[in-house]
Structure 1
Amino acid sequence: MFPQVTGYDRAITVFSPDGRLLQVEYALSATKRTPLAIGMKCKDGVVLLAVRKYLSPLATPPEKIYRIDEHIGAIAAGLVGDGLVLIERGRMEAQYNRLIYGEPITVKNLAKRLALYKQQFTQYAGLRPFGVMIIIGGIDEGPELYVTHPGGAYYDYAAFAVGKNSDKVNETFRQSFKQEFSLDECIKYAVKVAMESEEEEVNENYLEIATIDVNTRKFRELQKDEIAKYVNLARGSEG
């Protein structure tokens, strides 16, 4: 006889009595179930790291780090399908900017456009928010790192982690991360933190790493043998 008092729990367009959009919060919870993803900027560039999980020995896990433009890379942390949609959207925004303005898109502008696109899915009935946080790193005048929220906000970070055990990793960043790190030191630090945060063994087969250097301004993915070198260094420092 009475209306369902928890209707705001299922409807994206209805605020709860305390001013929350619960579907957005549920989408944020989905990002915490994904394997760990890390982004950080240092004096020499940007480092993106993602942990891959093998669901079956017969299947190759999907990639998590993507090239958006020559000078920008991104990690989609959350639902894989949602992430693919947003990565393609980011690539289109980058190409539109080159076509219309004749220059590369800035990292901040890309983050803003993706955030605005995500926000549209929080205010219309029949839609749902993207269950993904996008870590966007690149070089403009200097290193830049942004994170987009399922609710449509975007934030500028020096270092940030999304996914399983990310609260622990972000606390580690607050205590020991230094933006004065060189790019090499930053990679070592990211690998060490990732290995320490995972309950299962992490090696070069389970890591993706990409960098954007301030000198070359080019997105580059590290090869498996390069990643293995950093994994061995991290193991040595643990000993």
Structure 2
Amino acid sequence: MAFIGGGKGGYDRAITVFSPDGKLFQVQYAQEAVKRGYTALGIKTDAGVVLAAEMKPSGKLVENGSVEKIFQIDDHIGASASGLIADARVLMDRARIEAQVNRIRYDEPIPVQTLARSIGDIKQIYTQHAGVRPFGARFLIGGVEESGSYLFETDPSGVVVAYKAHAIGGGANDAIEVLEDKYDEKMEMDDIILLALNALDKVIEAELKPTNVEMATIKAETKKFQKLANEDLLKHIKRLTS
């Protein structure tokens, strides 16, 4: 293999080359792309899972809902994303295929952990081949099964970690501070929704509105992914601010 010149400028030219201190700079750059993205979060309790994301206000000429930050993967699984949303969309299409293949092959819904690991595997592959770059997207993948509620994070390196509640993106630290302070495993669904809105309210600079928030729930009793309509979001926001 040809020698790549010293200094960061040399070692960041190829994804397959480690720097002398053991870093893959292209992976770190992908992590930085996520940090510059809008905040997304996930919370799970026995009552179910809530996924929420900060949305950039759309212009007058943009169709509402044309840009997604929260994706449905299967009936019982969804994901919130931060970073390069184009990268996220491609990976979510792969995730949906994985979920459908599992139903055809095993005649049962795919386990949340299996799906999260599959997406993590795809991301990891893109850190060790020349001619490609890492995916600049991080996900919080949540779902409900017969055995309970689950929430997993996958980052650009391919690492998969389970959480009770977590936030990603530019305002993640502030949102995590709220989650750590107010999270309770015994929360009911309405309380989880309010906690998610409370965390986003901490990071969104403008007034909290249905136009700058996207949210979905997966309730334990139904095990069905459902996005909240603007009128439902408005009711919960009024509860938060009252």
- TM-score interval (norm. to shorter): over 0.9
Partners of 1:43 and 1:183 within 8 A in 2:
no
Aligned match of 2:118 = 113
Aligned match of 1:232 = 238
CA separation in 1, counterparts of 2:122 and 2:4? 32
Task: Please state if 1:148 is matched with 2:154.
Answer: yes
Aligned match of 2:75 = 70
**Which TM-score applies when normalising by structure 1?**
0.94
- Which letter maps to 1:74? A
Count of residues in Structure 1 that have an aligned counterpart in Structure 2 = 235
Measure how far apart 1:206 and its partner are: 1.3
Residues 158, 3 of structure 1: alpha-carbon distance in 2 compared, 3 angstrom cutoff: closer
**Among candidates 195, 206, 209, match of residue 200 of structure 1:** 206
Task: Please state if 1:184 is matched with 2:190.
Answer: yes
CA separation in 1, counterparts of 2:201 and 2:101? 39
| Local SS of the residue matching 1:161 | strand
Measure how far apart 1:8 and its partner are: 1.5
Measure how far apart 1:205 and its partner are: 1.4
Residues 93-132 of structure 1 show CA distances to partners (whole Å, capped at 9, x for unaligned) of: 0001011111110000000001001111000111100000
- Which letter maps to 1:143? S
Aligned match of 2:48 = 45
CA separation in 1, counterparts of 2:19 and 2:182? 38
Partners of 1:114 and 1:148 within 8 A in 2:
yes
Q: What RMSD over aligned residues (CA atoms) do the two structures have, in Å?
A: 1.4
CA separation in 2, counterparts of 1:147 and 1:58? 34
Partners of 2:134 and 2:156 within 8 A in 1:
yes
- Which letter maps to 2:191? E
Measure how far apart 1:3 and its partner are: 5.0
**Which TM-score applies when normalising by structure 2?**
0.93
Aligned match of 1:137 = 142
Measure how far apart 1:219 and its partner are: 0.5
| Local SS of the residue matching 1:59 | coil
Task: Please state if 1:58 is matched with 2:61.
Answer: yes
Partners of 1:76 and 1:87 within 8 A in 2:
no
| Local SS of the residue matching 1:202 | coil
Q: Which stretch of structure 1 is more off in the superposition, 8-17 or 141-150?
A: 8-17
CA separation in 2, counterparts of 1:210 and 1:171? 22
Tell me the percent identity: 42
**Among candidates 90, 95, 111, match of residue 95 of structure 2:** 90
Partners of 2:42 and 2:142 within 8 A in 1:
yes
| Local SS of the residue matching 2:41 | strand
